[in-house]
Structure 1
Amino acid sequence: MSDIDDVKHAVNEWLQGLDSGDLERMIATCDPEVVICNERQQTTVGIQAVRDKYGPRIDANTFKSTYDIEHIRVYGDMAMMIGRFTVAFTSKESGQQGGGEGRLTLCYRRHEDGSWKLILDVDNNDHRDAA
């Protein structure tokens, strides 16, 4: 596989982890220094902070997410992907539904073993209804 294919695979692993409720699958795609900057939310830094942020959300909701790539490029040991996301969620307790869509920039860092890990996630939402 090419570097671009490997980065796309890492993105898909995150999404499949979210959609299947597998937090550790999501975490496996993250660099130890990961920074997540979601619109109107506190910046999340590090793997434990990702667990703390997404664990309760996954416990409380089921998700269905997609990501459409508009631009992807590899710059040595760094990769940048820009695109549009959609996410829908349903509360496991109440059945209430919500979701959102918007633009997303993801940056990945290549590790010594050749794997690509998420180092930066920045989004802005077209419509806001976060879980």
Structure 2
Amino acid sequence: MNQDEQDIRQLIESWLSATQAGDVTAVLSLMAEDAMFLSAGQQPMVGRDAFARGLSKVLSEHVIESTSEIAEIEVSGDLAYCRTKLTITITSKHGNLPMLRSGDTLSILRKGADGRWVLTRDANMLASAA
């Protein structure tokens, strides 16, 4: 496994850990300013600010725990894609039953001039796994 693949794997682990910890700032540091998120049946979420608003709202009422099984990473120069099987448990802070979502994701990453990989595009096919 080369250094780029190791760095991308670490980015994914950092994302999951920061989300579970409720650290929105840390999550935002892992994405490009113009990041775009695609989900079935919804308009694209464009930009760090939009993502921050959405994540902050969810985390104000819930805790998110995730696992990601990396199926594929392909690096070509300063661009890479990563395909994963993602499972998310969203637990209410108010005692409601947890929601379980699971599915495949496809993420595009870009390596900056500083050598850091950031997420630039993400598409997920998560569905209720109940």
Whether TM exceeds 0.5 here: the answer is yes
Deviations 1:32-63 (A, max 9, x none): 11001122222111110111111100111011
The equivalences for 1:66-85 within 5 A come to 66-85=67-86
Write the distance in 1 (CA, Å) between the matches of 2:126 and 2:31: 22
- TM-score with structure 2 length normalisation? 0.93
Alpha-carbon shift at residue 128 of structure 1 (Å): 6.3
What residue is the counterpart of 1:27 in the other structure? 28
What TM-score, normalized by structure 1, do the two folds share? 0.92
Q: Is the 8 A contact 2:66 2:87 kept in 1?
A: yes
Aligned to 2:48: 47
AA partner of residue 91 (structure 1): S
Deviation per CA, 1:68-114: give whole Å up to 9, x if none: 01111101000100010000011112332112000000111000100
Q: Which residue of 1 aligns with 2:111?
A: 110
Tell me, in whole angstroms, the C-alpha distance in 1 between the residues paired with 2:42 and 2:53. 14
RMSD (Å) for aligned C-alpha atoms: 1.5
Please, which runs of 5 or more residues in structure 1 have no aligned partner?
none
Deviation at 1:20, TM superposition (A): 0.9
CA distance in 2, matches of 1:15, 1:42: 23
Secondary structure of the residue that 1:14 maps to in structure 2? helix
Aligned-partner Cα distance in 2 for 1:26–1:125:
19
Aligned residues, how many? 129
Q: Do residues 36 (structure 1) and 37 (structure 2) align?
A: yes
Deviation string, structure 1 residues 15-44 (Cα, Å, up to 9, x no partner): 111111111111010011100112222211
Contact 2:20/2:66 (CA < 8 Å) preserved in 1?
yes
- The range that moved more, 38-47 or 4-13, is 38-47
C-alpha spacing 1:49/1:128, structure 2 compared with 1 (3 Å): farther
Q: Which amino acid aligns with 1:21?
A: G
The unaligned stretches of length 5 or more in structure 2 are none
